[in-house]
Chain A
């Protein structure tokens, strides 16, 4: 029998909740706390707003209108001069920035044309366009330059905005980091989850998690001062700033992320599965590798994806140890297409390192350099957010399976 209030006939719980709702002060405080929680949504909106606002400015920058009409004029003049196929491609490859020299070079490359004529045609094209046309040209040129160009040089005189070299650099460091973090993290999870005595694992787990608490600037120092000379001893061609040393230290930093989420997945595998395998005569290692790890594989995958997302967003290690040079060379040759460069012993730049580089240089507000920072930040944010969501979806699915 629930206890009821003799006057109102309400149950204890109802009477209490009525009292609580009458408590005006309590209600005000509850509202204030809800606002605290809602503040997190404001932060998210703030991040998206700040990134989008300046990225929009970037993608509508007048510079891209100039490049767009430069390309259009070049294409028209070149095809009227009878160029086609690979010759036309070669000429168009010159028309990627807006320096004086570029126009001279284009005029040289097209037969029977002097720079003056070219400039006239360019001006005519530009003036003939309506505002809407010009806007469309700006945006489409900006997107094609940003996603399809193979050079990233916004801080140079010849400004080019292809983000691929930065993404390539980010992926390169990330791959090295995951090559370190995945096997070590998995071994850690298997050892702590299945082999270690309770006391040992109670001691080792916080120690391993300490690896994630070491400041990234310290890992950067380790990579540059201690790891790079060792790598240089093995591979003499290594440059002082390289993706390998940064990646190895980043792997150490991510190890606890991979390890502790994999460990959760491994410990949530039901005891019955272990016992079934033991009953069939499996040894402990066979239980671990053939039963527990396959059963926990989605949790392990989630941990690896989360690790990748951490690696992509990591800033200080790569800024200190991986260099500031967006990938230009593959071996000896200049990179000419959007191909993947996979040599970790060269100097590279990641998206985060570029962001750090621009903020070190104090780019003036409103300049195209300042805008690129937000455009790169938006790509970075989108990438890490996607990976976090995917990782969480996978991890929550496994929890439903076993609980």
Chain B
């Protein structure tokens, strides 16, 4: 036996070592690519089927009365989502107030100011780790720190502070990307005209980064609307039949509930009628989320030519 395989003696087509067998291989390839396409769309199809079944189950409740009346434990046919929906909005407003300034500030620091040193590395590592912490752990933090240690109780302030911590890493990551996408030439032109660093950041970098930051904030907000684990842990699952006060001082210290938790509560009740209520709540929640996502995509497309 020589060390060379038999096929290398010049008679390639006739050797057994190299059998192109192309037809079969292309057929297998075609099956494979179809399988991958099916795998890609399977999840989406499943989601569409499940959502449409939910929609069918929800139809009896989907009217203005469902939005405008309070939840009821006695009478499912008259129950609505007024207080949870307003509660969700209220939590969102305060969450954005707390988390966006801090998040954007951190992003500007990391992108524009931070020197290349160990502290910056530590900050970046830390933010990446925070993004991976499950929201239930933030809930425990909120329970231990805001509700018990600071004695706030299970109120809007504790809820929105907790939620602000949940979405803070999301906002920082999105804002950093938006700031990084602002072209260097803009900054250099501003410096060239004698602007200071802060003037450059405030007058040129931030205005150009705003569409990107806005997209990130909307995505973070849609996460905050759907996230219920953290608020469940701090004890927001209460039966509320009054509107949260948005702009009064009492607003921060009033009890609240949010839409996903109301849905969770309805799923847990044994009667079939409450399952229909849950389905209707889910449709409202999904419509909210999808429109938020659509807005984010529109903003991204509209301003993407700038970068």
Contacts of B114 in A (CB 8 A): 34, 37
In the docked arrangement, what's the CA distance between A32 and B297, Å? 32
**B149, B169, B264: residue with the most chain A Cβ atoms closer than 10 Å:** B264
A252 touches B132 (CB 8 A): no
Cβ contact of A217, chosen from B168, B196, B226, cutoff 8 A: B226
| Interface status of A157 (Cβ within 8 A of chain B) | no
B222 touches A221 (CB 8 A): no
Q: Which of A184-216 contact B (CB under 8 A)?
A: 184, 186-188, 190-192, 195-196, 204, 206-208, 210-211, 213-216
Tell whether A30 pairs with B113 under 8 Å between CB atoms, given A192-B40, A215-B260, A360-B237: yes
| Interface status of B214 (Cβ within 8 A of chain A) | no
In the docked arrangement, what's the CA distance between A381 and B138, Å? 10
B228 touches A380 (CB 8 A): no
Give the number of chain A interface residues (Cβ < 8 Å): 90
Cβ contact of B109, chosen from A33, A210, A362, A374, cutoff 8 A: A33
A365 touches B148 (CB 8 A): yes
In the docked arrangement, what's the CA distance between A283 and B21, Å? 11
Q: Which residue of B lies closest to A201 (CB)?
A: B40
Q: Which of A342-363 contact B (CB under 8 A)?
A: 352, 355-356, 359-360, 362
Write the nearest CB–CB distance from A140 to chain B, whole angstroms. Answer: 26
| Interface status of B37 (Cβ within 8 A of chain A) | yes
Tell whether A313 pairs with B136 under 8 Å between CB atoms, given A36-B102, A40-B123, A283-B29: yes
Q: Which of A25-41 contact B (CB under 8 A)?
A: 25-26, 29-30, 32-41
Tell whether A381 pairs with B133 under 8 Å between CB atoms, given A191-B37, A217-B263: yes
A41 touches B37 (CB 8 A): no
| Interface status of A389 (Cβ within 8 A of chain B) | yes
Contacts of B226 in A (CB 8 A): 213-218
In the docked arrangement, what's the CA distance between A207 and B41, Å? 9
In the docked arrangement, what's the CA distance between A208 and B47, Å? 10
Q: Which residue of B lies closest to A180 (CB)?
A: B43
Q: Which residue of A lies closest to B49 (CB)?
A: A226
Q: Which of B128-151 contact A (CB under 8 A)?
A: 128-130, 132-141, 143-145, 148-149
B263 touches A47 (CB 8 A): no
In the docked arrangement, what's the CA distance between A213 and B297, Å? 14
A360 touches B229 (CB 8 A): no
Write the nearest CB–CB distance from B156 to chain A, whole angstroms. Answer: 18
B37 touches A215 (CB 8 A): no
Contacts of B44 in A (CB 8 A): 207-208, 210-211
Write the nearest CB–CB distance from B29 to chain A, whole angstroms. Answer: 4
Tell whether A33 pairs with B135 under 8 Å between CB atoms, given A221-B263, A377-B140, A385-B129: no
Tell whether A37 pairs with B145 under 8 Å between CB atoms, given A183-B39, A356-B232: no
| Interface status of A10 (Cβ within 8 A of chain B) | no
Count class of interface residues, chain B: 35 or more
| Interface status of A50 (Cβ within 8 A of chain B) | yes
B235 touches A316 (CB 8 A): no
B267 touches A284 (CB 8 A): no
Q: Which of B15-64 contact A (CB under 8 A)?
A: 20, 22, 25-26, 28-29, 32-33, 35-44, 46-47, 50, 53-54
Write the nearest CB–CB distance from A69 to chain B, whole angstroms. Answer: 30
A221 touches B229 (CB 8 A): no
B198 touches A385 (CB 8 A): no
Contacts of B113 in A (CB 8 A): 30, 33-34
A213 touches B282 (CB 8 A): no
A377 touches B232 (CB 8 A): no
Cβ contact of A374, chosen from B40, B144, B275, cutoff 8 A: B144
Q: Which 3 A-B pairs have the closest CB atoms?
A: A313-B134, A187-B39, A215-B226
User: Could you list 9 examples of A-B contacts with CB < 8 Å?
Assistant: A196-B40, A204-B40, A211-B44, A252-B46, A285-B29, A352-B134, A355-B136, A355-B139, A360-B237
Given known contacts A225-B275, A313-B135, what 18 new A-B pairs fall within 8 Å (CB)? Answer: A20-B198, A25-B198, A36-B101, A47-B141, A187-B38, A187-B39, A188-B40, A208-B44, A214-B289, A217-B261, A221-B279, A284-B33, A316-B264, A355-B140, A359-B234, A360-B232, A373-B143, A377-B137
